[in-house]
Amino acid sequence: MEKRELTCIGCPLGCGITVELDEGEILSVSGYTCKRGEIYARKEVTNPTRNVTSTVRVTGGERERVSCKTRGDVPKALIFSVMEEINRASVAAPVCIGDVLIGNVAGSGIDVVATANIKAV
Partner 1 sequence: MTAYDIVIIGGGPAGLSAAVSAYDSGCRSILILERDAELGGILNQCIHSGFGLHTFKEELTGPEYAARYIGMVLERGIEYKLNTMVMDISPDRVVTAMNSEDGMFLIKAKAVILAMGCRERPRGALNIPGYRPAGIFSAGTAQRLVNIEGYMVGKEVVILGSGDIGLIMARRMTLEGAKVKCVAELMPYSGGLKRNIVQCLDDYGIPLLLSHTVVDIEGKEHIKAVTIAEVDENRRPIEGTERRYTCDALLLSCGLVPENELSQSMGVGLSKVTNGPVVNESLETDIEGVFACGNVLHVHDLVDFVSEEAKKAGETAVKYVSGRIERSDETEIELRATFGVRYTVPSKIAVGRMDDTLTVRFRVGDVYKDSFVSVYFDDERVIHQKKRVLAPGEMEQVVLKKANLLSREGLSTVTVRIEGE
Give the C-alpha distances (Å, rounded to integers) separating 71 from 15, 27, 114, 115. 24, 31, 9, 10
CA dihedral 108, 88, 77, 43 (to 10 degrees): -50
The verdict on 64 binding partner 1 (CB under 8 A) reads yes
Closest distance between partner 1 and the C-beta of residue 15, in Å? Answer: 8
Q: How many residues bind partner 1 (CB under 8 A)?
A: 31
The verdict on 95 binding partner 1 (CB under 8 A) reads no
Q: Closer CB to partner 1, residue 1 or residue 106?
A: 106
The verdict on 57 binding partner 1 (CB under 8 A) reads yes
The verdict on 42 binding partner 1 (CB under 8 A) reads no
If phi > 0 it is left, if psi is from -120 to 50 it is alpha, else beta; for residue 61 that is beta
Q: Footprint of partner 1 on this chain (CB under 8 A)?
A: 6-12, 14, 16, 50-55, 57, 63-65, 67-69, 76, 79-80, 83, 87, 97, 115-117
